[in-house]
Amino acid sequence: MHHPFTSFLDDWFPQPAAPAASTLESLPNELLFIIFQLACTDGGRTGCNLALVSKSIHATSRAARFHSVSLLSGISGRLVHLLRTFNAAKAEARAEGAPAPFIRHLCISLTPAFNILGVRFTELDVTMMKNRIEQNKSLSYEARESRNKQEREDYHAAFLPLFAAIHADL
């Protein structure tokens, strides 16, 4: 069949095939691990984003995603969530026979980070800080001290199992 906008020259000078799309998944896993390990040194932001790219990148980056972790909120729930996520990643790696994740660098704040230079707060962090300030206005000194003591105890109780799970790799 003859197309109206084709020429008989197309048969003599065929157009080059479009280059294959280069994807991250096409690189060898050994090279990807090195790239991910170098990229995941920002406190966890890149590791979190890598986990969301695709199932393939999620699995391939698992061992390096936790390389550097920063928790600056001073909230015990964040420590508990990190430990659960880390343990789940280790279990997935064991099940697949893949390299296990490790935390090499850990930066934590024992108190809420209200004014650390260079830290970008999420909307949730800002909302929590505002709520805390409002609550402090309505509480007596003794009630604030009691709440702060309970929060410190909760944070310490959440920190101990996390530290026990990762201290060998730090």
Question: 141-166 and 76-96 are packed helices; what angle lies between their axes, rounded to 10 degrees?
Answer: 20
Where exactly are the structural domains of the chain? 28-166
Buried b (16+ CB within 10 A) or exposed e, 142-157: eeeeeeeeeeeeebee
The CA distance from 26 to 62, in Å, is: 17
Give pLDDT tens digits along the chain (170 positions): 455 555 555 555 556 655 555 577 788 888 988 999 999 988 888 998 998 988 888 888 999 999 999 887 778 888 999 999 999 999 999 999 988 999 999 988 766 555 555 566 677 777 877 888 888 888 899 998 998 899 889 989 999 999 999 999 98
The CA distance from 152 to 154, in Å, is: 5
Note the pTM of the prediction, 2 decimals: 0.72
Tokens of 50: 């890598």
Q: What is the DSSP string of the chain?
A: ---TT--THHHHSPPPPPPPPP-GGGS-HHHHHHHHHHH--SSSHHHHHHHTT-HHHHHHTHHHHTSEEEE-S--HHHHHHHHHHHHHHHHHHHHHTPPPP---EEEE-SS--SS-TTPPPPHHHHHHHHHHHHHHHHS-HHHHHHHHHHHHHHHHHHHHHHHHHHTTT-
